[in-house]
Amino acid sequence: HYAQHMAARKIAIEKQTRAQIADGITQVLVIGAGFDALALRLANMFPHLYFFELDMGHTQSTKLGAYNNALIS
């Protein structure tokens, strides 16, 4: 049940974020993003918006390292 809850939650958050983008917001702040790539995915789709993530330093550095490695590969 937990995995289904988390999947439904992520879908709902992305749907709401996209609705707010359609309504004209210019910035998105993701608090406690963990390893979710929502901000990265949407930033690629909406380059005219500003995306920010606020999370633990070790999580962000691991995520950034994985992203940089993917760019190099």
- For the chain, 73 residues long, the average pLDDT of each consecutive 10-residue run is 93 97 97 90 95 91 88 76
CA dist 29 and 43 (Å) reads 12
* pLDDT value of residue 49: 97
* pLDDT value of residue 47: 96
pTM: 0.81
Cα end-to-end span (Å), the chain: 35
